[in-house]
Structure 1
Amino acid sequence: MVAWEAGVDEVGRGCWFGPVFAAAVVLSEAAASALTAEGLTDSKALTARHRARLVPLIEDAAEAWALGQASAREIDHHGIRRATELAMLRALQRLPQQPALVLVDGVLPLRLWPHSQQTIVRGDSSKASIAAASVLAKESRDALIRRLAERFPGYGLERHAGYGTAVHRQALLAHGPTAMHRCSFLKKVLPPG
């Protein structure tokens, strides 16, 4: 059996609302090539329609995949870097077996992962497993935020996915933060008090 190599990536790191999501994806070389031929790359470089079309292809082609998240409360308590690492760790722990190597997008190592790993700058553009993780994490988080937009109307979440836009800022000033907002991110947005 070939040793597993898992790509991990996160989404929602800079949002004001909701959890940070991560995904871990294990792809064979054949699956990586096939998905790349379908246009798989960094989720930020893809249209929403293209990402949505890729999700079932990734899920079917992957040897394994899993999601993890860290809540707004965990982000406020631990800080965004550690919360992001918790989301990645949770995704990796949900895989059916431990990968021999974890490929982490970016420059910062996954401090909570005590096994072999490699950081790759712009890995979501150069490694199919990381790109696949970015797509699954983005689509899963966006779907959650759309559902939460119904629970928290008036914030425009369905339009900005929880990111810091002028519409979101105005809604926060008008209605105040919800239990799902990252209060540590709002110190410069909301007046003190």
Structure 2
Amino acid sequence: MSMEGVPAGPGVAGVDEVGRGSLFGPVFAAAVVLDHPSAERLLKAGLTDSKKLSAKRREQLLPLINEVCMDAALGQASAREIDRQGIRCATELAMLRALQRLDRPPELVLVDGSLPLRLWPGSQETLVAGDSRSAAIAAASVMAKQARDALIRRLSQRFPGYGLERHAGYGTVVHRQALLASGPTALHRCSFLKRLLIGPC
């Protein structure tokens, strides 16, 4: 992971989201603050973009992230908020909630992607492919991914038959077939299903 020119340190929080493209459940975000030694330790342990890590590797990294980070917090926005406000606004809400739950407001927020966090009143910097350029963003991506996956696994017991434990709510063939056969649950994103022509919520 190349971090050349990317700000880092105690006053810098990396923020990332997961679940943006899912058909089911909330979108999650995490905010993580790392100092330089902690960032180096995580990078040496193999930290990178959560999408490039196996589930087993993420599971191994999460306790280390929690151990060495200076601060960290989670936020989420519900399926209903996604339907009411759209996915971008809901994603920003999840990020804002994560940042607001930090022990102290960061001096600078590093946002993964090219779109600024419009709700954040402080300084920020967008980083395209940030989860491969910033250890704090990468740690946030792992934390958010693990938290959301754990929630979806629990919800799969409440809503059996959709295979949620296997696809985390994304639009796989199995998931779409279950939706056509049984209809959506109360936690499906109606606005996403309309695009797929899978009937009313």
TM-score range (shorter-chain normalised) is: over 0.9
Query: Which position in structure 1 is the counterpart of 2:41?
Result: 34
Within the candidate set 100, 103, 107, 1:100 is matched to 107
CA contact (8 A) 1:173 1:190 kept: no
Asked if 1:13 is matched to 2:13, the reply is no
Within the candidate set 175, 181, 187, 2:194 is matched to 187
Distance between the aligned counterparts of 2:186 and 2:196, measured in 1? 16
SS at match of 1:133: helix
Dislocated runs of 4+, deviation >3 Å: 190-193
The one-letter code of the counterpart of 1:78 is Q
Asked if 1:69 is matched to 2:40, the reply is no
Within the candidate set 82, 93, 118, 1:86 is matched to 93
SS at match of 1:174: helix
Query: Which position in structure 1 is the counterpart of 2:119?
Result: 112
Cα distance, 1:40–1:15 mapped onto 2, change above 3 Å: same
Asked if 1:155 is matched to 2:162, the reply is yes
The one-letter code of the counterpart of 2:17 is E
The number of equivalent residue pairs is 192
1:97-148 CA-partner distances (Å, limit 9, x unpaired): 0000000000000000010000000010010000000000000000000000
Structure 2 gaps, min length 5? 1-8
CA contact (8 A) 1:172 1:190 kept: no
Distance between the aligned counterparts of 1:191 and 1:72, measured in 2? 16
The share of aligned pairs that are identical, in percent, is: 70
1:143-183 CA-partner distances (Å, limit 9, x unpaired): 00000000000000001000001100000001100010000
Structure 1 gaps, min length 5? none
1:35-71 CA-partner distances (Å, limit 9, x unpaired): 0000000000000000000000000100000000000
Task: Tell me the CA shift for residue 4 of structure 1.
Answer: 1.1
The one-letter code of the counterpart of 2:181 is A
